[in-house]
């Protein structure tokens, strides 16, 4: 940003006058005119950009009077100087940096106003200024310019004031696209922030050089950018919110881009893990649910004792024992099969999630945390289901034990004799 030499001379005169207070659009004061002062005043007189009045020895000269020439004999004399500022592109004086940010509309469009002087800071605005707050303003203006380059288009209905940058991004619900609008309205709140725009510069350079995946990289950054913009409380504060959360934009972009170059997006990967978790949880639950219906036969087998008591038939009693033995055997066999199925499902689950433990995925802290939570949850489900199957195994013995106890009591079988008989053999 090139400062006009005439404006630099104006500021130097203002400083030699000991920075007097502005009176509307003008300032005045007295000084002892040295050679340097005369040269500066003469330059301002001849450029005809500022209304200049010089008084000394009861004589007044000003640029508005057609017959007046610049006074020559003023060296080492005390002179009175009054200068009116046009407050145009020729130059502007601001009380301080905060007033400049709040009132200079060109800043909202990413343009540093040329020929700007900040009175309180005694600072001529330029790209080389070292003030921390001014560096922040320069950085934010650069950000606006770069965002303007990557936006899909500008809202041309607005010809003054801040830009309305439009980004068109895909919807997460369906395959449609929708616009996200960013109004680049600055405020003094961002004066201590210094957003790093090197990533945008890198993306634009890749596009210029037709680098591989340059378009995908730009699209990924736009999505990361709009995700933050949409979280702003309202459109008027969206830009300030974006600047305050610029590090979140860079972090989200980095994660999404790293995921992309490995063949999937960060969010898609989390969705896949959640989908597999739901699938395996359902399969594990079905293993036990299938057995639950078979367990309804157990009360029926036990209730058979009442019917047998009414029939009082030995043959029926022994058929009941045989049926109970068959029921228990079938239940134990079914439980064994389901235990095997549960182990197979768990093995398939471990194998399915092992692909997410590849070295390239270990860089994604979010994915690692998600995997840990999912695996712990599935391990807990497996443990609970195995305990349920163990309970079912114990319950499966009830029909046979009920039948044996019934027959034993019915016919007064001496159980110790039977036990001793088998021990002797």
pLDDT digits (tens, 9 = 90+) for 331-373: 788 778 878 887 887 787 777 777 666 544 555 556 677 777 8
pLDDT level of residue 82 (50, 70, 90 thresholds): very high
pLDDT tens per residue across span 16-74:
999 998 888 889 999 999 999 999 999 998 888 888 999 998 888 888 876 678 888 88
Bridging pattern class, strands 153-154 and 123-124: unpaired
Sheet order of strands, 123-124 included: 92-94, 116-118, 123-124
The answer to whether 226 and 245 have CB atoms below 8 angstroms apart is: no
Bridging pattern class, strands 164-170 and 153-154: antiparallel
Q: What is the pLDDT of residue 209?
A: 87
Q: What is the pLDDT of residue 243?
A: 93
Q: What is the pLDDT of residue 359?
A: 46
DSSP alpha helices (H): ranges in 171-296? 198-208, 214-229, 238-244, 246-261, 266-294
Sequence ranges of the chain with CATH classification 3.30.1340: 5-90
pLDDT tens per residue across span 312-335:
556 666 666 777 777 777 778 877
Q: What is the pLDDT of residue 423?
A: 57
Share of the chain above pLDDT 70, in %: 78
For 204, counting Cβ atoms within 10 Å of its Cβ (0-12 exposed, 13-18 middle, 19+ buried), the class is middle
- DSSP secondary structure letter of residue 344: H
pLDDT level of residue 401 (50, 70, 90 thresholds): confident
The answer to whether 193 and 246 have CB atoms below 8 angstroms apart is: yes
pLDDT tens per residue across span 200-212:
999 999 888 888 7
101: nearest Cα among 143, 140, 159: 140
pLDDT level of residue 15 (50, 70, 90 thresholds): very high
Distance of CA 56 to the CA centre of its chain: 66
CA pair distance 279, 275, nearest whole angstrom: 6
CA pair distance 268, 223, nearest whole angstrom: 14
Q: What is the pLDDT of residue 414?
A: 56
| Beta-ladder partners of 169 | 178
Q: Determine the average pLDDT of the residues in 277-297.
A: 69
Q: What is the pLDDT of residue 131?
A: 76
Q: Determine the average pLDDT of the residues in 240-268.
A: 81
The answer to whether 301 and 327 have CB atoms below 8 angstroms apart is: yes
Q: Find the range with the poorest average confidence among 82-96, 159-173, 356-370.
A: 356-370
CA pair distance 104, 94, nearest whole angstrom: 10
Handedness of CA 231, 233, 237, 243 (dihedral sign): negative
Sheet order of strands, 164-170 included: 153-154, 164-170, 177-183
323 vs 228, which has greater pLDDT?
Answer: 228
CA pair distance 53, 71, nearest whole angstrom: 11
Q: Determine the average pLDDT of the residues in 269-294.
A: 71
SS3 340: helix
CA pair distance 254, 224, nearest whole angstrom: 9
396 vs 270, which has greater pLDDT?
Answer: 396
The answer to whether 186 and 244 have CB atoms below 8 angstroms apart is: no
> Which CATH entry fits the domain spanning 5-90: 3.30.1370, 1.10.1060, 3.30.1340, 3.40.50?
3.30.1340
């Amino acid at each position: 940003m090139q400062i006009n030499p005439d404006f630099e001379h104006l500021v130097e005169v203002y400083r030699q006058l000991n920075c007097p207070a502005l009176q509307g659009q003008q300032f005045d004061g007295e000084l002892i005119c040295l050679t340097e002062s005369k040269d500066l005043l003469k330059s301002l007189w001849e450029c005809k950009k500022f209304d200049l009045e010089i008084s000394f020895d009861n004589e007044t000269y000003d640029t508005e009077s057609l017959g007046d020439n610049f006074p020559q004999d003023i060296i080492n004399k005390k002179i009175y100087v009054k200068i009116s500022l046009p407050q145009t592109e020729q130059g502007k004086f601001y009380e301080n940096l905060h007033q400049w940010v709040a009132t200079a509309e060109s800043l909202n469009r990413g343009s540093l106003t040329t020929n700007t002087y900040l009175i309180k800071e005694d600072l001529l605005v330029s790209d080389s200024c070292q003030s921390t707050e001014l560096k922040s303003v320069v950085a934010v203006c650069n950000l606006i310019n770069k965002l303007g380059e990557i936006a899909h288009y500008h809202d041309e209905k607005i010809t003054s004031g801040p830009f309305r940058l439009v980004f068109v991004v895909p919807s997460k619900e369906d395959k449609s696209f929708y616009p996200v609008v960013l109004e680049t309205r600055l405020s003094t709140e961002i004066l201590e922030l210094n957003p790093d725009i090197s990533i945008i510069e890198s993306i634009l350079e890749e596009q210029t050089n037709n680098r591989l995946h340059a378009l995908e990289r730009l699209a990924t950054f736009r999505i990361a950018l709009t995700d933050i913009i949409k979280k702003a409380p309202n459109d008027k504060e969206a830009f300030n919110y974006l600047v305050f959360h610029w590090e979140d934009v860079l972090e989200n972009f980095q994660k999404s881009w790293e995921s992309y170059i490995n063949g999937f997006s960060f969010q898609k990967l989390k969705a896949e893990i959640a989908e597999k978790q739901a699938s395996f949880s359902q399969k594990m639950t079905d293993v036990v649910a299938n057995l639950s219906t078979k367990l309804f036969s157990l009360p029926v087998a036990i209730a058979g004792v009442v019917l047998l008591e009414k029939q009082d038939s030995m043959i029926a009693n022994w058929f009941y024992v045989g049926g109970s033995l068959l029921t228990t055997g079938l239940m134990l066999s079914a439980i064994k099969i389901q235990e095997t199925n549960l182990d197979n499902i768990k093995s398939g689950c471990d194998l399915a999630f092992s692909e997410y433990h590849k070295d390239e995925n270990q860089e994604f802290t979010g994915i690692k945390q998600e995997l840990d939570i999912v695996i712990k949850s599935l391990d807990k489900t497996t443990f609970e289901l195995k305990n349920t199957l163990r309970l079912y195994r114990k319950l499966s013995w009830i029909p046979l034990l009920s039948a044996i106890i019934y027959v034993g009591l019915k016919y007064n079988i001496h159980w110790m004799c039977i036990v001793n008989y088998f021990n002797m053999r």
